[in-house]
Structure 1
């Protein structure tokens, strides 16, 4: 799993930062999932190493323009470029009507390649490898945070140990590789988990923007490997953050601390902290690190590979 930030500014783009969009690359299945799609996202994709032909799902947090104004252009370009792949789009109420209106007045026919799913708190997508759930955050309009959870996988199957136990090769190996317990012809029961290496613990990535500090964000982010959280304002501008229902750097850090995440990456910064101003983004970083040291600041095209976690090793044993 690899995260690439395509836009890290809030509200409006700047010379150095585009508006919100984050790409999650899944190399094992040659897929890309987008989270939000602000204006200019397709231009950012062209400047990155991400292939638009691999985009399969787009998850929208809310209906503010800096999170959706690039969606229609990206979808249209994917079709016109000759790689009209099927795309699933997940988002709040109003998203489907918005896309239909854009399609009607720009004379674009999506056909059957576009599927729009209106989300509610809870599970919004699941397959054999991943699940995606969402929860309602606290913003001026309905805004959702997303939790992407990779499912646990058995560790590497030890063929030599299987041979030493005189387990006949064939379909039975496939069951053992999946960690199942099987009964051999001689009556022995073999626990497949004991023939595999350390299990690969599924990674968890959480995306929270836009929101002021809320308990829902903490619950969503519990034990995440990576929390991507908005930090529109500095701590001294907390009054403005409460008025506009956005987060400060210290709010983002408090969510990370209370949720027990491993890495916090802050994004969605107000242009008011540009170089040359009294307060700059390094100040926001220091504010957050005073609460949660493992904090990074996102910038456009910053890429972060989510490390794998493994459980403790187990010794081989038979189940009688």
Structure 2
């Protein structure tokens, strides 16, 4: 699971930051999922190592322009390129009307199937590997955050140990690999858990923007390996954040802390904190780290490989 930030500015693009979009690459299944699609997102994808042909799902948080103005252009290009099989869109009520209206007035016809899912809090997608849930955030219009949870997997199957126990190969191996308990023809009872390594805990990602501090975001971010959270304003500008229902750095950090997240990556920064201004982005990072030390600040084209818990534990042991 690899995260690529395609746009990290709020409201309007800047010379170095485009508006909101985050890509999640799933190399094990050659798929690309997109979270929000601000204006210029397809250009950002072209400048990255991502492949538009792998795009299969787009999750929209809310219908403000800096999160959806790039959607129609991207969908149209996917059709012209002719190399996308199908795209599922998830978002608040009104998303389908937006797509239909834009298609009608621009005379855009898609050469591949598109399905729009009007979401509400709860599970919105599930397959054998992943579960995606959404929860309501607190913004000026209806807005949702998302949580992508990879399902736990049985540990590595010890085939040599199975052979030593003279367990016949075939269907039984498959059952044992899944951690099931099997009774052999000779009456022996074999527990699959005794032939498998430690369970691989599935990774969890939460994406929360746009919102002021809310319990909805905390719930989505519980025990997340990485929380991507907006931090539009510095703590000093909290009054403005409350007026506009956006988060400060300290709100984002507090969300990660209360939720027990393992890492926080902030995004969606106001252009007011450009270099040379009284408060700069480096100051925002210091504010958040004072509350939640494992905080990073996203920038356009930044990538982050989400590690498995076991990998993190081994790394921490080796460092200590």
Would the TM-score normalized by the shorter structure come out above 0.5? yes
Size of the aligned set, in residue pairs, is 312
Aligned counterpart, 1:302: 302
Whether 1:171 aligns to 2:200 is no
Whether 1:220 aligns to 2:216 is no
SS of aligned partner of 1:4: strand
Alignment of 1:121-132 (within 5 A): 121-132=121-132
Does structure 2 conserve the Cα–Cα contact (< 8 Å) formed by 1:233 and 1:248? yes
Bigger CA drift: 239-248 or 180-189?
180-189
Distance in 2, matches of 1:84 and 1:150, equals 24
Does structure 2 conserve the Cα–Cα contact (< 8 Å) formed by 1:198 and 1:310? no
Aligned counterpart, 1:153: 153
Aligned counterpart, 2:197: 197
Does structure 1 conserve the Cα–Cα contact (< 8 Å) formed by 2:121 and 2:136? yes
Does structure 2 conserve the Cα–Cα contact (< 8 Å) formed by 1:233 and 1:246? yes
CA apart distance, 1:155: 1.0
CA apart distance, 1:170: 1.1
Aligned counterpart, 2:272: 272
Q: TM-score, normalization: structure 2?
A: 0.96
Aligned counterpart, 1:53: 53
Q: Structure 1: where are the runs of 5+ without partners?
A: 313-320
Distance in 2, matches of 1:84 and 1:264, equals 32
Distance in 2, matches of 1:133 and 1:166, equals 44
CA apart distance, 1:91: 0.3
Distance in 1, matches of 2:82 and 2:205, equals 32
Aligned counterpart, 2:92: 92
CA apart distance, 1:34: 0.2
Distance in 1, matches of 2:49 and 2:195, equals 39
Distance in 2, matches of 1:84 and 1:234, equals 41
Bigger CA drift: 203-212 or 171-180?
171-180
Does structure 2 conserve the Cα–Cα contact (< 8 Å) formed by 1:62 and 1:142? yes
Whether 1:10 aligns to 2:16 is no
Distance in 1, matches of 2:214 and 2:172, equals 49
Kindly provide the CA deviation profile for residues 265-292 of structure 1, in whole angstroms up to 9, marking residues without a partner as x. 0000000001111100000000000000
Q: Root-mean-square deviation (CA), in Å?
A: 1.2
SS of aligned partner of 2:147: strand
CA apart distance, 1:112: 5.6
